[in-house]
Structure 1
Amino acid sequence: MSGNNYSVALDLLNERFNNKRHNFQAHITEIMGIKRMDTSSAVKLRELSDKSTVSRRQIGEEAAVLDLIPSWEQFTSLLEKRCQKLENVEHSMAAYARGSQEESTTTKLRVVFDGSAVSSSGFSLNDLLMTGPTIRPKPCSTLLRFRTFPIALTGDICKMYHCVLVSEPDSYLQCILWRDSPQQPVNVFKLDTVAYGTRPASLLSIRSMHQLAIDEQTIYPIDSKTLKRDFYVDDLITGGESIQEVKKIMSQTTKLLAKGSFKLRKWCSNNPELLQTIPPDDRETLLKVDDGSDTTKTLGLTWGPASDCLLFAISPIHPRFYGPLGLIGPIISKAKIFLDWDESLPSSLHSSWLSLCADFGRIPQMKFPRSSIQQNGAYEIHGFSDASIEASVVSVSQ
């Protein structure tokens, strides 16, 4: 470089390094070219975070000057043109799945967004998302409180995830390519609500409901507490001491959730009077068990509202044990010891297992009262514990 060509060189440098359009494209290339890395390396994850943060900030600054952010029409047009060049688009681009829920009384089949589908970059959407903290109550605590109410009440928020909007920059990550047949052009749809199948879906929905409780707590102080305490994701599990109290909970909780566009439905109670004013479509559809009684599911437990009992049935053919309250612990503890084996049982234990399964067949159903509190009673809490080489147990009773 010399004095004769300095001005020319300066112009070339400015064109190369001070060109906002080139800078914008370089940062886009940097983000889209991120390679898969070892997620157990804190150093590598920090480098990934720093790189993506710098590039995203620069993109925002450059785009603000150049007005390069495409419109939705331009974005969908680009995707459609790219997809028309692909073969068998309906197979290679299906980032969703069908979820079967045989025990559901309303939605037997639902669409699940496949957030774990790996893209051409080697990453899936869930790889780049954080699950977040667990802010829902523990199932055991919710069920124990449920057993303290003389009058029980359950409900369900209709399509809770679809009631929570996702901000527009993030919703572009929830695009779906679809066509009804190979002869039709590919259409692009953008899902603007929380997608079932993405890592933070549960947290976003619950946190939105909690924020609604915080925003409206001056108007609905009691029901704001109900939203944060008596909901397990979208399931309401609560109750009260009297019909008047429970009716107030129903009314006020419905009004409070309506302010956030959440709708309560599938109402169920052990007191039929509470459901007299509820439209049939908004009541829980009860399922009949082998003995003909009507039941519903409450956090995985079978509850008979008419008898107000928790029901347990163990199949000797397909044994499944779920008892977060420990009510059937003494019965299934021996079976759980067998299930700890990773190999085939020896002949001596195999005969014992068959005998145990036969014993299960003699117990068609077990019932426990849902309500464990006696009104106007005095209570004492007692704890017991014991242990052996194969098992340990702790019991707390009143």
Structure 2
Amino acid sequence: MEMSKLEKMQYLITTLDGAALDTIRSLEPTEGNYSKALDLLKGRFDNKLLIFQAHIKAIFGLQGVEVGISGGLRKLSDQVNAHLRALQTLATTEEIYNGLLIHLVTSKLDLHTHEKWEENLSAQKLPTWLEMSTFLEKRCRMAENLENAMVNQTPSKQEAKRFHLCLN
């Protein structure tokens, strides 16, 4: 037997908590609001990039295995495979490789550069290594240009002395 939209809405309200419940709390439990509730939840939580990154971070954060403890090895294997299966539902093998490499590189960036990288990412599209490489090249070029401009603007000691003598 199929549940009505009203029953689905009531079930949804009873199963949610925290931020998810807050997202739809203002909607009355009516048949017409079920679709609205789903749209609100998708808009708030359907973030492919965030979910993808969470699995990548979890893989990098897994605990190492101690020598001679087979249970630890089994746990590590199970956890890695669980995250990989989840990633495979979100992305192609190439996108997963890109994600692993991008995570590794972004973990090495300074906070400002990392923020600039994240600033233009889409929540629904996974970034490619080409995009990361292009971003890094652009940032390097900008930093080098700024550094060069600052060096050229800094007066030499002789110029500073001449300027100082002219003022006196």
The normalised TM-score by structure 1 is 0.17
Which is richer in strand?
1
Which is richer in helix?
2
The normalised TM-score by structure 2 is 0.35
**Structure of higher RCO (CA pairs closer than 8 Å, 6+ residues apart):** 2
